[in-house]
Every structure is written in C-alpha cells, then in structure tokens.
Amino acid sequence: MARKKTVHVRRVYEAPEQADGTRVLVDRIWPRGMTKEKAHLDEWCKQVAPSTELRKWYSHDPERFTEFSHRYRAELEDPEHADALAHLRYLTKDRTLTLLTATKQPEISEAEVLAELLRG
C-alpha cells in the first residue's frame, strides 16, 4: 500500500516546527523582511511559482482563487516547470514536505494548489 504523501502549507513568517520536514519556499519573490536565517529553508524553488502575469492578475483575490487554480495548474503542465515539479514530487516520497509562502492567506495561494497536486 502506498504511503499517503504528507504535504503542509505554511507561512514563511511562522516559526518552524519539528513536524515541517523539508521546508521549501515556493514564491517567486523573496519574502519582505525575511532573512535566510529566520526562514529556516531547505530550498527555494521559485521555478514552480506562478508567472508574474498570473500572480498580478490574481492579486490574492479570494473570488479569483478557483480560476487562479485552473490557470496555475495549466502553467505547471508547461515543460519549463517539469524538473522543479518532479523535484518536489521526489521530496514527498519518504518525508514530510512543507511548502512555504509569504501570503497572508496560504489556503488560497499557489502553495495550496501545489500541495493538492503533490498529494494527489
């Protein structure tokens, strides 16, 4: 039986927890006011972040999240994202993965879309 993949989504500004496992920032832009030391990152995978055009269109408007999710998933199917997405899938194989984002509402962020995709 396959092990259920454990993928969490958290704000990068929250203190790290033991249960986080591998911590990966998935934003294209470095979080304002955050130092590398405070972030406690294992990696920064900005290659899977939404395009600047999509990010600006979405602007974290909750009413646009469903459409954003569809558009972002379509972007992730592009071959330019294949290696980064495969790497994140690899990280979920035998460990917990925590996707980090700077947004105030991580439940409607690219990190949540990615987490759903990786869990699937």
Specify the residue for token string 């039986």. Answer: 1
* 7-11, strands of its sheet edge to edge: 7-11, 97-101, 22-25, 43-44
Token pair for residue 80? 């330019």
Q: How sure is the predictor about 4, in pLDDT bands with cuts at 50, 70 and 90? A: low
Tens digit of each residue's pLDDT (9 = 90 or more) over 37-83 = 999 999 999 999 999 999 999 999 999 999 999 999 999 999 988 89
pTM over 0.85: yes
Q: Which helix (H) or strand (E) holds 15?
A: none
- Per DSSP, the three-state class of 109 is coil
Q: How sure is the predictor about 1, in pLDDT bands with cuts at 50, 70 and 90? A: very low
Q: Are the C-beta atoms of residues 57 and 75 closer than 8 Å to each other?
A: no
